[in-house]
Structure 1
Amino acid sequence: MTFGERKRVEVHFARQSRCRDFIHGERGMPGPTPTNLQFPAGSRIRVTPAAGRRLAGRTGTVIGAGYYPKSIRLVLDGSKLPITLHADYLAPIESDIGSNTSD
């Protein structure tokens, strides 16, 4: 090697390839994503006061489980985008399944 020449060094970053795979949809998100049986997708919920003044009392629809085991993805009524909340901040809304309102 003479003065002025540079040796080419190849560097591989493992996390970079994982991020690229996720962005391009080649691989799913790693880790547990079980469905929460307490709040199945499509169920109606009410946000408890423990979630804070801004969200307390709002209602919405569960769209699925979040990345973490106790997180729930939901769309609040009047919103376009989903949010993620901890399951402890949600309460199920009792539906009128047993009522006989049809004639």
Structure 2
Amino acid sequence: MLLQLRRGALLQARLPDLVAAARELPQMLVADGGLVVWGTGALSFEALQRRATAGRRDVSRLAESLPAYFVVFDVLQLDGRELLGGPYTALCSRCCSPSTCWRRRRRCAR
């Protein structure tokens, strides 16, 4: 798995919890999204910054106390096929259930 920021920095060494979770995903998946970390009852940009800048000694401890999540905005490729040109409902039916798939406040149809 490759976790890359817009400016090119790689983060997988600092986010082992996400790397472990990604093992459940298809091998040939390219997704666009955002990293989030929950603080005390809400999303915390400060906690996300702590995770993204953690030193080697702190990575495991922070993964336990401040788990990171990846929120997918778009699936760009799946199984080596580019999906940008196809209808969104076809993409949705391949990667999620109708109860969990939302885009622009509309539920996907199967």
Q: Indicate whether the TM-score tops 0.5.
A: no
TM-score, structure 1 normalization = 0.27
Structure richer in helix, relative to its length: 2
Relative contact order, higher structure (CA 8 A, sep 6+): 2
Point out the structure with max Rg over C-alpha: 1
